Amino acid sequence: MFAEGLRKLFHDALPAPLQTFKARTGRLVRYAMGRFTTVTRAPVFVLGNQKSGTTVIAAALAHCANLSVTLDIRDLTANHLSRLYEEPTSLSTFVDRYRHSFSRSIIKEPGLTFAFESLRSAFPRATFLLVVRDPRDNIRSILDRLDLPGDASSLPSETLEQVNPVWQHIVENDALGICANHYIDSLSHRWNRATDVYLQHSNQIYLARYEAFCQDKASYVKLLAEQLSLPVLQSPDSIVHSQFQSQGNRNVPWVDFFGSENLSRIEKICALNMAELDYPV
């Protein structure tokens, strides 16, 4: 984790043109590597909304079962995501182009959650796990990650322009056809879309609850591994307590972070799916 922090610090310190050059070079290298790798046709896909615990759960499962893992498909840019949602058939082309990311036994990519139908068609032998998290914690974590407020009446365009394009896509959700005048509404509808994937395909998708994971992390990962028919070869203890992404302040009450009006927006929009998943309002 220390090395990853140094890598991110070094990347962020680069001038924008060098960051762009570095990103393009990385994509070219991964494309070239993909020419010599084979796509795994029966992987475990770990899906869910961003900041719902998908990374740590996928990493812990991979460690527990001693399997290879992709933690985020780095080439799935905002443009690729938009094209994928608008043209579902483009997924096969993307998979072929970036085979390296799809060559692992476990593939974690929240962006693919909203293309589940295409993903299932492209990987009919795959196993799917979707991670859910209380929308109030989930949305707060996204905003914390982006250093955005939870209680604002709106987000100025110049504020959003400072956000990474992929994360802009996550906040605005235009590509998902979500038309919302308020950023909290947009993120709430996004949470609904992610949980709809499980609720509409519960016979084809295993469910993981982030809250249950937090209660007893190692035991919960072992339980998930057994449900997914993965071997339990080693304890995930060394992984489950790692911080893969920046952690928000979980001790701040929801009403203090969002304010009563924005908190009410989340609970009103997400009420039905919260009830289906036993999250109290």
DSSP 36: T
**What's the domain range around 56?**
37-276
How far is C-alpha 112 from the chain's CA centre?
A: 8
Q: What is the mean pLDDT of residues 85-89?
A: 91
CA distance 95 to 109: 13
Q: Is 89 within the bounds of a domain?
A: yes
Domain count of the chain? Answer: 2
Say yes or no: 12 and 139 in one domain. no
Q: Is 126 within the bounds of a domain?
A: yes
Structure-token pair, residue 250: 């979980």
Say yes or no: 15 and 128 in one domain. no
Say yes or no: 138 and 162 in one domain. yes
- What is the rounded radius of gyration, in angstroms, for the C-alpha atoms of the chain? 19
Q: Is 189 within the bounds of a domain?
A: yes
CA distance 25 to 76: 15
Say yes or no: 14 and 67 in one domain. no
Give 1's pLDDT tier (boundaries 50, 70, 90).
very low
Structure-token pair, residue 79: 């443009």
Q: Is 281 within the bounds of a domain?
A: no
Provide the greatest CA pair distance for the chain. 54
pLDDT at 4: 42
Say yes or no: 29 and 48 in one domain. no
Chain segment 207-224, per-residue pLDDT in tens: 999 999 999 999 999 999
Q: What is the mean pLDDT of residues 70-89?
A: 91
Say yes or no: 126 and 242 in one domain. yes
Measured CA to CA in angstroms, residue 97 lies from 20, 77, 90, 272 at distances of 20, 13, 11, 39
Query: Under 8 Å CB-to-CB from 202, ≥6 apart: which residues?
Result: none
Sheet hosting strand 127-132, strand order edge to edge: 69-71, 106-108, 44-48, 127-132, 205-209
CA distance 171 to 186: 7
Say yes or no: 8 and 101 in one domain. no
Say yes or no: 123 and 231 in one domain. yes
Give 37's pLDDT tier (boundaries 50, 70, 90).
confident
Least confident of 24-28, 110-114, 196-200: 24-28
Give 5's pLDDT tier (boundaries 50, 70, 90).
very low
Say yes or no: 18 and 50 in one domain. no
CA distance 94 to 109: 14
Q: Is 32 within the bounds of a domain?
A: yes
Least confident of 11-20, 103-112, 193-202, 245-254: 11-20
Residue 259 φ/ψ, nearest 5 degrees: 80, 155
Q: Is 98 within the bounds of a domain?
A: yes
Q: Is 8 within the bounds of a domain?
A: yes
Say yes or no: 149 and 248 in one domain. yes
262, 150 Cβ separation under 8 angstroms: yes
Say yes or no: 30 and 103 in one domain. no
CATH, residue 224 = 3.40.50.300
Express as a percent the part of the chain with pLDDT over 90: 79
Chain segment 38-72, per-residue pLDDT in tens: 999 999 999 999 999 999 999 999 999 999 999 99
